[in-house]
Chain A
Amino acid sequence: MAENVRSVIARNTWKENQVLRQILGICSALAVTNLMTNSLVMGLGLMFVTALSSLTISLLRNYTPYRIRMIVMTLIIASYVILVDIFLKANLPEISKALGPYVGLIITNCIIMGRAEAFAQKNPPLLSLLDGFFAGVGYTVVLLIISFFREFLGFGTLFGYEISFVSFEPWTIMVMPPAAFFIIGVLIWISSNLFAPKGKKKP
């Protein structure tokens, strides 16, 4: 039951968005979204890791003994994460510092393991690459929406640039972690209304 490319894209970006519909990867979505730049880099890192680990896992899927598949997945994911970490430290030291431990924690991001187990494990390599990549895109989009509100209202800037046409007292709460809870709650509410299966009575 192979999916086509288009449904893979739509499913991962909107319909079954990893953060909003599957409630995965919440920890980092709350933590790194106070600045848009941090969110973008985190999102790019995750896109890279999910895409390549899904590809690799899918390439190896016919050779991997079933019993040790989880260990192999973790090994592959961890390797790509360390790669991202080294790259950031060498080329974007400022951002590497700002993201701190969260880059390393991409390893434990459930989105990646989720895609590996649920998709890459039983689908062809290129489709898995796309699936992983767009799962990452879905995550990045959500992070950017959250950080847009947090950075704009909390600092009055976007991607670090001063927004000068409006001036207001920055909302300190937006910079602090609770703000991410409020925003993510609202986003989950909206996306449930849009994408939840119709006809079922919700508890």
Chain B
Amino acid sequence: MKDNPYYTIAFMLVVSAVFALMLSLTNEIYLPRIEANELLEDRRAVLYVFELDTEGEAEAVLDRFEEHVEEQTIADIQLYVHLDGEEVLAYAIPISGSGVWGTMNGYVGVSPDITQLTGLIFTEHSETPGLGGRIDETDFLEQFRGIDISEEVTLAYDDRLDAITGATGTSNSVLNILNNVLDEKIRELEVALNG
């Protein structure tokens, strides 16, 4: 009976259906939680580029975000603004581009007069753990705070910036993504802000 082709097809269908059902159910149950985690991660990232405290329970982090940050659209760019009352302290611009293994997403922070970077962070990437994945480490990310962008600059690894290692394409991907954003979105933002 096991060699009967109809049996084979039926067996495969039944097995697939059972496992697909099991997975969909699990996904359904956990989805709200996964989405909440992702939102929290995103909020933390924005707080990080604004040099705000990212520690604490989920609730505290979300409250802090509500208190200091506002979502705005300037020059067709969706961004987050760090506000102190009416005064703008910084902008966080979403960045995206291709890494070595997949798309990398994150935020870059710029000062309100567009002269300095306030921070950089990646929220999503699939770089090699332990190699390219080390772009998540604060030693690397902290270097981007206060980088001067007041003149037309193309960032490179020089005496201001150290790559995680030259042995991964991730290092170049990070710069490419940043330079693209500097060339386009940040210039557009500058134009929009200065009239």
Residues of chain A whose beta carbon lies under 8 Å from any beta carbon of chain B: 31-32, 34, 38, 60, 63-68, 71-72, 75-76, 79, 82-83, 86-87, 89-91, 93, 97-102, 175-177
Contact = CB atoms under 8 A, between A and B. Distances in A.
B130 interface: yes
Given A66-B2, A67-B8, A83-B26, A101 B15 contact: no
Contacts of A76: 15, 19
B55 interface: no
Given A99-B129, A176-B131, A89 B34 contact: yes
A32 B129 contact: yes
Interface in B113-132: 126-131
Interface string B99-110: 001000000000
Contacts of B136: 97
Q: Is the interface of B mostly helix, strand, loop or mixed?
A: helix
B48 to A, nearest CB: 14
Interface of B: 2-3, 7-8, 11-12, 15-16, 19, 22-23, 26-27, 30, 33-34, 37-38, 41, 101, 126-131, 133, 136
Contacts of B38: 93
Query: A-B pairs with the 4 shortest C-beta distances?
Result: A90-B30, A79-B19, A93-B37, A90-B33
A87 B22 CA distance: 13
A45 to B, nearest CB: 14
Contacts of B19: 75-76, 79
A95 to B, nearest CB: 11
A71 B2 CA distance: 15
A38 B128 CA distance: 14
A110 B190 CA distance: 53
B23 A89 contact: no
A68 B34 CA distance: 35
Contacts of A63: 2, 11
A71 B136 CA distance: 37
A76 to B, nearest CB: 7
Contact of B22 (A38, A68, A79, A97): A79
Contacts of B37: 89-90, 93
Nearest to B131: A177
B57 to A, nearest CB: 14
A90 B37 CA distance: 7
B133 A100 contact: yes
Q: Is the interface of A mostly helix, strand, loop or mixed?
A: helix
A86 B8 contact: no
Contact of A64 (B11, B128, B131): B11
A38 B22 CA distance: 27
Contact of B130 (A34, A90, A97, A101): A34
Contact of A100 (B3, B8, B23, B126): B126
A107 B8 CA distance: 23
B26 A86 contact: yes
B129 A100 contact: yes
Contacts of A93: 37-38, 41
A82 B23 contact: yes
Nearest to B30: A90
A64 B14 CA distance: 11
A63 B11 CA distance: 8
A83 B29 CA distance: 12
B30 A86 contact: yes
A32 B128 CA distance: 10
Contacts of B7: 65
Contacts of A83: 22-23, 26
Contacts of B101: 101
21 contacts: A31-B129, A34-B130, A64-B2, A64-B11, A65-B7, A66-B2, A67-B8, A75-B15, A75-B19, A82-B23, A83-B22, A83-B23, A86-B23, A86-B27, A86-B30, A87-B26, A87-B30, A89-B30, A97-B41, A101-B129, A177-B130
